[in-house]
Structure 1
Amino acid sequence: MLVKPQQLTLSLLVSLAMTSTAYAEHVALPAMSITGIAGETTPYALPESIISSPDSGDMLKKLPGANINQNGPLTSLVQYRGMYADRVNVVVDGLALSTAGPNRMDSPLSYVPSSQLDNIAIYRGIAPVSSGIETIGGTVKAESRQAEFGSSDEIEVHGNLNSLYSTNGDTRSVGANTSMANQHHRLQLSGSVDRSHDQEFDGGDILPTESDRDTLGIAYGFRHNDTELEFDLNHLDTGETGTPALPMDIIWIRGETLKAGITQQLDNGGKLTAKVHYQDVDHQMDNFSLRQPGMMLRYNDADVLAKGFQLGYSQGNWGFGLDADSAEHNSLISDPSNAMFFVNNFNEVERDRLSAFAEWDGAIADKWQMQSGLRLTHVKTDADDVDSSMAGMMMPVATLRDDFNNADQSQEDTLADIVFKFTRTLSSSLDLELGFARKERAPSYQERYLWLPLQATSGLADGKNYIGNLNLDPETSYQFEIGLDWHQPDFAISPRLFYHHVNDYIQGVATDNAAAIMVSNNMSPMAGTPLQYDNVDAKLYGIDTNWLWALTDHWQLDGTVSYVRGKRRDTNDNLYRIAPLTARTQLSYIQPDWRVAVEAVTVAAQNKISTENEEAKTGGYAFFNLSGQYSVSKAVSVQAGVNNLLDRKYSNHLGGYNRVSGNDDIAVGDRLPGLGRSFYLGLNLNW
């Protein structure tokens, strides 16, 4: 069934035709203000939702303008308004995590399972400069459950247990937190276990999509008068997990993240913060343990070592910050059947950032508020010499190696971000928002240092071979946004219209490097002409909105609509892997102790595809989800539901292409299908 754009909001139009008396105070409304003083919280957090998957990315898709590029069951790459992967600043518990995998198999959201997720939020539209470094594609904040200080010297013991079972893939998930705290100390232990078999669709199995992940964490906090200290140590252990849209699967991802911080309230009303972090993660992947082996068996051992600090000071309307971080990446490809074979893919690639910002937020005139900010960032990258055993047998490989090693790998970029956002109160129930910004991003280490034509592309998953480009310029995006926040006691809607004019957008274009073409044709003849990262010109524009309507004392209707169009400005081509027009509409019936809901997810066909990436079109579709929650007591609640109620077969445009041979249900090169029907049951305990 093809879904026309005008059909996407059919349920919304029908609902607007209804007449009813609504009393919003009787229902659980999302995080929109309906008091007439502000349209939305900032950042805009996901309203309380029922968890039906261990993947936190499934929660993010419910936010306006947000979506997920899905390369595997735990590999969710955030897409916001058409920008994704390295362009979106994803902050997990205050840290912009570095990924160990050159294809972002350990994406930032994979470090926080949904069973441990406290909230996930997005800065709608233009992200403030204080939200992070390189925020050209926005900022997403994910926060895990954290213990709070007590109110007296008496020790309080609290905890939480979340468990989930889903029939699709026989998915099992458990997350637990327990803490002891008084007004000066808090100590928390946390952990989670996620397991699943291969996922299913109406037509067969999606191979391989089994998953295996454990997390463990310990956190301590100390508070005395105006001083607060925190220490957190988290361990991630991801086992064999399939990523069918990528050339290899996860064998393991193991490592630790350590952070410490201090917050000091000053006598002059200001606040001083300081944080340091350290991350050490190892990652192994292969192309034969979870999928049918091909002619060439390959291991890829990768790692990241990252560290950094943040200093911040705020007083009144002003905020200042200094940030610095450094990440070192390695990736070595080997053959388990041939000890002599190797490709030193990335060798001690280092990416260092030093950044400072100033931000002002306050009233500039009657009914006008302004948020303004400036961030300057210096990015320095470097890499050591590379090599491959193939260089002794294939002259083109030797040529590529020597060209890379003889070039100057040390590169430096200076970035400037400027933000102006204005809000005007038009009435007690209507606000106007205008935003203007200049945002920049330096090339990723894959875009710059991928010397051999391979698919180590930060999760691009288009099946093409790429080589890097040492001479890339930073991306520069000029951003404009206009929006309204209309908030009545029983109704609220918050549409945003945006336009991004991007100079030097980094994308693969057909290479004229003869050596790269020969190597790619020899190793991957089905991949076609290899692409080389280059600077092109692009634009992205669209509209997204969230809305809610309290129909009666107990009935509530809410949803989101998101549309983005991505185009090249220097050619007639479209940008790759852009989310189609999507609407989510949910009707809920709410009682004090229980609630039930039906959700319609409606997605239009995506015909605006990238010729350069040989992207395939996808048709429109719609499916329905049912969910329910019952509070047995203040300490116990039960959740249940069914996703894709009618077991609709569809292809998610952001799902990538199948790279796994030997599956009679999905041919190699076909778009990966969306998940079939899945019943789930969850239990939540609090003490």
Structure 2
Amino acid sequence: MNHLVSRAVARRLPLLAGTMFACISVSPAFAQQPTALPGVDVASDSTPSVASDDVRTLTREQIEQQSSQSSDLAGILTRLPGVSAYGAGGFSSLPSIRGLDNQRIGILVDGVPIDSACPNNMNPPLSYTDPHTVGSVSVVTGVSPVSLGGDTIGGAILVQTAPPEFARQGSTLFTGRASGFYRSNGNAAGASLAMTAATDTLSLTYDGSYTRSENYDGGGNDGVVRSTEYEKTDHSLSFAAQTSAGLFQLRGGIQRAPYEGFPNQYMDMTDNRSWFLNGSYTNYFDWGDVDLKVHYRDTDHAMNFLADKGGTADGGMPMNTEDHGAGYVLKLSLLATSRDTINIGSEYQHQWLNDYWPPVAGSMMMGPDTFINVNRAHRDRLGTYAEWHADWSSALTTTIGVRNDQVWMNTGDVQPYGTGMMQMADVAAAKAFNAVGHHRHDSNWSGSALMRYQAGPGVAIDFGYAHKVHSPTLYERYTWGRGSMASRMIGWFGDGNGYVGNLDLKPERADTISGALTFTSAKKGDWSLKVAPYWTHVADYIDVRKLQDLTDMMGMPSGFVQLQFTNREARFYGVDVSGDLMLWRGMHGAAARLATQASWVHGENLSDHDALYHQMPVHASVTLDYADKSWDGHLGLQAVAAKTRVDLTRNEPETSGYALVNLGGGYSWHGLRLGVDVTNLFDTAYYLPLGGMSLGDYDATGVLRPVPGRGRSFNVDLSAKF
């Protein structure tokens, strides 16, 4: 390791832990062995004595071992307490933390945000990552500090690519890794390659991956689940230079996703092309640290029908989105005293979005003009913050911060497909939208306070409070169509309903109290237990009100409704519990350990005392892990309770409880690892509690059902390090 990176690690670990509340815990007991037990996500006495709320991390090795089971990073994160995911495409699930969905939580990839450029949220930030090439992922499930970003009211997901590698002084380095996988269910396959060439001052890294899948089969007799196929390719190139003036990095990349089916949407993604260029500068001084990032991303997104929904032989229904995002993130950490650190920063995020639907030749409903859904809208956010971190003693630390985010939004006039009788609802809606001003400005103040207290050997107490504010998105404010078809094209909820924007939406204001009580054994690694309760109240929570029932082409009730975004009042509370127990220790690092976790969240609309949409029912898991020299294995049980608290306004379906068994193992030898596992061992049939309605199957069969979960799959993966 070169001198600047090693100095950065030594200097930044305690400071970043205090700033980001990253009390990351893994069991180090078998780290010297070729094969080790997976890390435990429970804080222990070995973690730095810093203010911490609740942060858990998956390492590159942990993510890679699960990548044979899923190409969806958000889905992999659901193994962590408090994290769930809305069903979507095969690599585009929408993460939710303690009941708050992905639009309300902070998602940063290499420290910068990524815009969603789709009225159905088909390309969320995590869809631009690949489990095979991610360096690590940290998830803040509790109160997040203001330095982690603004315009959010929930936790945070922090994705990092691997840091640059440098050779020893005077030498060169060539290293890399390659991997491939196959899943029997869906006939899915993929591969990845990472290569680094470096001197002691320069480093060049390539990361690439490819993944594809056909439709998967549900468990039992559920049959094929249509519109679940996908394909995508990612490439990136990173350059780093280490000089006496600091560490400079430049990273660029492209993604091409030619198709991705969405079982719970009327539309599918028929193309997504995105490229990005990020630059960063980092340096560490006696007085503090400097971290500057600048970023740009360009995305062209297209939707239409894949074969399961009729294809495009007759033109289908093309829907296009163009998005440009750019900005900077500046962070300064100032060492005021041996006890106190002052963190200050500034962020700017610009989003430009154009969403339009070209006419379809010969269609009376979709023509003769282009339907302008969002006309060259922009959303600009300027954030500033100040944060004070204090190490009062070896047992007590605090972090207190305040920030302001200025949000400006505007868009141009809109138009329907035409002025015929079938388009009159949209004609009237466009006229009303164009008659009023579209500019909106929000001034949002947020604050957070966290404390960590090491009460004694093996006992740690964490507590946090935050007031956070989140402004509406462009689609929540500026979508306007009132026709049945136009409104059904809006929405990332997978419920088949139609959604209409609202120019009068106010920002959401959330107050959160959360904490954690952690117990660990006197002998490191023997056992641990963590209990983390939380409570959140949201004023002006963006929910919906019913406009009308939607009918089919014959004027008969369709079972779906048209809804408009509106401000309500909401409350969330719950608890996450996790723990582990070492069952056996043998020679040469052999060991067996039992790990368990459980989560419960209660989300309620206080305006009408109805259940909030897409709240995960009580769920728990138990995993037995084994490691012995080059061998590793696992046996896991995942149990989910019946979902009976549903949002009646949206006709959310109830789902039955279920239990799944997963089994797997691997063998490592001289940098090679072969892994084999079976997911859903008994081919259990079940419906996804947050999967929405299976609209892809509905189009083909006329039978409406929730989206079935994946049936049994035999998976194999092979990886090599060189």
Give the TM-score taking structure 2 as reference length: 0.87
Question: Partner of 2:135: helix, strand, or coil?
Answer: strand
Give the Å deviation of 1:436.
0.9
How many Å separate the matches in 2 of 1:519 and 1:613?
A: 15
Partner of 2:719: 684
Instruction: Say whether the 8 Å CA contact 1:272–1:314 is kept in structure 2.
Output: yes
Following superposition, the deviation at residue 249 of structure 1 comes to 0.5
**Residues 366 and 550 of structure 1, relative CA distance in 2, 3 Å threshold:** closer
Letter aligned with residue 608 of structure 2: T
C-alpha deviation, 1:580, in angstroms: 1.1
Counterpart code for 1:405 = N
Distance of 2:83 and 2:46 partners within structure 1: 26
Structure-to-structure mapping, 1:93-242, within 5 angstroms: 93-201=110-218, 202-203=220-221, 204-242=223-261
How far off its partner does 1:88 sit?
1.5
Shift of 1:207: 0.6
**Matched-pair contact (CA < 8 Å) for 2:53–2:142:** no
Q: Structure 1's 147 and 520: CA in aligned 2 closer, same or farther, altered over 3 A? A: farther
Matched to 2:602, the amino acid is: R
1:613 is matched with which residue? 650
Cα 1:152/1:400, change in 2 over 3 Å: same
Q: Is the Cα–Cα contact under 8 Å of residues 115 and 173 in structure 1 kept in the other structure?
A: no
Aligned residue number for residue 584 of structure 2: 552
Aligned partners of 1:297 and 1:335 also within 8 Å = no
Secondary structure of 1:502's aligned partner: strand
Which residue number in structure 2 is paired with residue 395 of structure 1? 424
The question of 1:646 aligning with 2:658 is answered: no
Cα distance in 2 for residues equivalent to 1:523 and 1:151: 74
- Once residues 365 and 641 of structure 1 are traced to their aligned partners in structure 2, the CA distance between those partners, rounded to angstroms, is 47
| Partner residue in 1 for 2:588 | none
Please give the per-residue CA displacement for 1:48-77, whole angstroms capped at 9, x wherever unaligned: 252222221222011110011111212210
Partner of 1:509: 545
Which structure 1 residue ranges, 5 or more long, are not aligned?
1-21
In structure 2, C-alpha distance between the alignment counterparts of 1:194 and 1:69, rounded to whole Å: 21
- C-alpha separation in 1, matches of 2:599 and 2:566: 29
Structure 1's 137 and 225: CA in aligned 2 closer, same or farther, altered over 3 A?
same
Q: Structure 1 residue 213: deviation in Å?
A: 0.3
Compute the displacement of 1:373 (Å).
Answer: 1.1
- Is 1:410 the counterpart of 2:445? The answer is no
Task: Give the match for residue 11 of structure 2.
Answer: none
Match of 2:12 in 1: none
Q: Secondary structure at the match of 1:83?
A: coil
Paired with 1:561 and 1:519, the residues of 2 have a C-alpha distance of 41
Residue type of the alignment partner of 1:272: V
Residue 709 of structure 2 corresponds to which residue in structure 1? Answer: 674
- Report the residue type matching 2:673 in the other structure: S
Cα deviation digits, residues 8-38 of structure 1 (max 9, x gap) = xxxxxxxxxxxxxx99558634254544555
Q: Which residue number in structure 2 is paired with residue 264 of structure 1?
A: 283
Separation in 1, partners of 2:158, 2:647:
30
Code of the residue aligned with 2:517 in structure 1: it is: L
Q: Which secondary structure state, in structure 1, belongs to the residue aligned with residue 645 of structure 2?
A: coil
Amino acid at match of 2:56: Y
SS at match of 2:639: strand
Q: Compared with structure 1, are the counterparts of its residues 508 and 150 closer, same or farther at alpha carbon in structure 2 (3 Å cutoff)?
A: same
Shift of 1:520: 9.8
SS at match of 1:530: strand
- Rounded Cα–Cα distance in structure 2 between residues aligned with 1:302 and 1:121: 30
Tell me, in whole angstroms, the C-alpha distance in 1 between the residues paired with 2:205 and 2:28: 40
Which deviates more from structure 2 when the two are superposed, residues 187-196 or residues 448-457?
Answer: 448-457
What is the TM-score when the length of structure 1 is the normalising length?
A: 0.92
Question: What's the CA shift string for 1:504-534, capped at 9, x where partnerless?
Answer: 000111138xxxx899999996264411111
Residues 480 and 523 of structure 1: CA distance in aligned 2, closer, same or farther (over 3 Å): farther
Alignment of 1:592-611 (within 5 A): 592-611=629-648
1:21-420 matched pairs, under 5 angstroms: 28=37, 29-36=39-46, 43-46=55-58, 48-49=62-63, 50-51=65-66, 52-201=69-218, 202-203=220-221, 204-266=223-285, 268-292=286-310, 297-316=316-335, 317-338=341-362, 340-364=368-392, 367-393=395-421, 394-420=423-449
Instruction: Select the residue among 427, 441, 444 that pairs with 2:470.
Output: 441
Task: Write out per-residue CA displacement over residues 439-461 of structure 1, whole angstroms, 9 at most, x where no aligned residue.
Answer: 11001111100110313545122
The answer on whether the counterparts of 2:53 and 2:464 sit within 8 Å (CA) in structure 1 is no
Q: 1:685 and 1:430, CA in 2 relative to 1: closer, same or farther beyond 3 A?
A: same
| Structure 2 CA distance for partners of 1:443 and 1:630, relative to 1, 3 Å | same
Q: Distance in 2 between matches of 1:138 and 1:53?
A: 23
Once the two structures are superposed, residues 612-664 of structure 1 have per-residue CA deviations (whole angstroms, 9 ceiling, x without a partner) of: 1111111110011012121122x111111000000000011111111125677
CA 663–103 in structure 1, closer or farther in 2 if over 3 Å, else same: closer
Deviation at 1:337, TM superposition (A): 3.3
Equivalent in 482, 502, 514 of residue 469 of structure 1 = 502
Q: Please give the alpha-carbon distance, in whole angstroms, between the structure 1 residues aligned to 2:556 and 2:303.
A: 19
Partner of 1:577: 614
The worse-fitting range, judged by mean Cα deviation, of 383-392 and 74-83 is: 383-392
- Does the 8 Å contact 1:133/1:377 carry over to 2? yes
Whole-angstrom CA distance in 2 between matches of 1:615 and 1:466 = 15
Counterpart Cα distance in 1 of 2:270 and 2:582: 48
In the alignment, is the contact (CA less than 8 A) between 2:55 and 2:142 conserved in 1? no
Q: How far is 1:230 from its partner? A: 0.5
Give the distance between the partners of 2:555 and 2:277, measured in 1 at CA.
40
Classify the secondary structure of the residue corresponding to 1:86. coil
Distance 1:163 1:288, change over 3 A: closer
What residue in structure 2 maps to residue 5 of structure 1? none
Matches within 5 A, 1:481-492: 481-488=514-521, 489=524, 490-492=526-528
Residue of structure 1 in register with 2:455 after alignment: 426
Name the aligned partner's letter for residue 211 of structure 1.
Answer: Y
**SS in structure 2 at match of 1:130:** helix
Q: Secondary structure at the match of 2:511?
A: strand
Q: 1:530 to 1:170 in 2, by over 3 A?
A: same
**Contact 1:566–1:578 (CA under 8 A) maintained in structure 2:** yes
CA contact (8 A) 1:280 1:305 kept: yes
In 2, are the aligned partners of 1:36 and 1:428 still within 8 Å (CA)? no
Percent of pairs identical after alignment? 25
Q: Distance in 2 between matches of 1:351 and 1:628?
A: 48
Alpha-carbon offset, residue 483 of structure 1? 1.4
Structure 1 Cα separation of the partners of residues 324 and 46 of structure 2: 48
Query: Which residue does the alignment assign to 1:451?
Result: 480
Q: Distance in 1 between matches of 2:720 and 2:408?
A: 48
Deviates more, 1:586-595 or 1:166-175: 586-595
Letter in 2 for 1:486: F
Distance in 1, matches of 2:475 and 2:193, equals 37
**For 1:390, what is the secondary structure of its paired residue?**
coil
Question: How far off is 1:567 after superposition?
Answer: 0.3
C-alpha RMSD of the superposition: 2.4
Distance 1:379 1:491, change over 3 A: same
Matched, 1:625 2:662: yes
CA distance in 2, matches of 1:23, 1:226: 35
Q: Does structure 2 retain, via aligned residues, the 8 Å contact 1:594–1:629?
A: yes
The runs of at least 4 consecutive aligned structure 1 residues that moved more than 4 Å come to 22-27, 36-42, 293-296, 517-525, 661-664
Q: Taking structure 1 as reference, are residues 84 and 361 closer, same or farther at Cα in structure 2, changes over 3 Å only?
A: same
- 8 Å Cα contact 1:396-1:519 kept in structure 2: no
CA contact (8 A) 1:102 1:456 kept: yes
